[in-house]
C-alpha cells in the first residue's frame, strides 16, 4: 500500500510539472507595452487606450494563450472596429500566425480572449 501511494504521488507530480503555462498581469496598457507583451505575440496590440487589469496566460508547450481585460465602454466600438464579428456574438482578429477570439460582456466593460495558431 505504501509503495503504491509513492507511485501515485510521483505520477501526479510528473503530470503537474509538465505544464509550461506562464501567467502575467498588467495594471495598465502602458505596463503591458513596457513588458513587451505585444512584441512576444501573445496578444495583438489592438487593445483600446483604457485597457486595464490585463491578464495573459500563455501555454508555451502548445503555443496558445487566454486572458482577459477591462475597458471603458466608450472605447468598445473603437476596439471592435478592428475585429471581425462572429455569429456567436464574439469577435475575431487574425494575425500572421495566430487567431484571437474576444468575448465581451453586455456592458462592454470586460473581455475574455483566447489565442490559437492558425490552421
pLDDT in tens, 54-90: 999 999 888 899 999 999 999 999 999 999 999 999 9
User: Would you kindly state where each structural domain of the chain is located, as residue ranges?
Assistant: 21-117
Q: How far is residue 79 from each of residues 59, 102, 108, measured CA to CA in Å? A: 25, 11, 10
CA gyration radius, the chain:
18
Q: Are strands 98-104 and 91-94 parallel, antiparallel or unpaired?
A: antiparallel
The residue whose grid cell reads 483600446 is 48
The C-alpha cell at 109 is: 466593460
Q: For residue 42, give the DSSP letter.
A: S
pTM to 2 decimals?
A: 0.81
Render pLDDT for 24-37 as a digit per residue (tens, 0 to 9): 999 999 999 999 99
Amino acid at each position: 500500500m505504501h509503495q503504491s501511494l509513492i507511485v501515485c504521488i510521483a505520477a501526479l507530480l510528473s503530470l503537474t510539472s509538465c505544464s509550461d503555462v506562464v501567467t502575467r498581469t498588467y495594471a495598465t496598457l502602458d505596463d503591458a507595452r513596457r513588458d513587451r507583451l505585444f512584441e512576444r505575440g501573445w496578444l495583438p496590440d489592438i487593445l483600446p487606450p483604457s485597457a486595464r487589469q490585463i491578464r495573459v496566460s500563455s501555454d508555451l508547450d502548445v503555443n496558445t494563450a487566454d486572458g482577459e481585460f477591462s475597458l471603458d465602454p466608450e472605447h468598445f466600438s473603437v476596439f471592435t472596429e478592428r475585429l471581425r464579428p462572429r455569429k456567436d456574438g464574439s469577435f475575431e482578429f487574425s494575425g500572421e500566425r495566430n487567431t484571437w477570439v474576444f468575448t465581451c460582456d453586455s456592458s462592454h466593460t470586460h473581455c475574455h480572449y483566447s489565442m490559437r495558431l492558425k490552421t
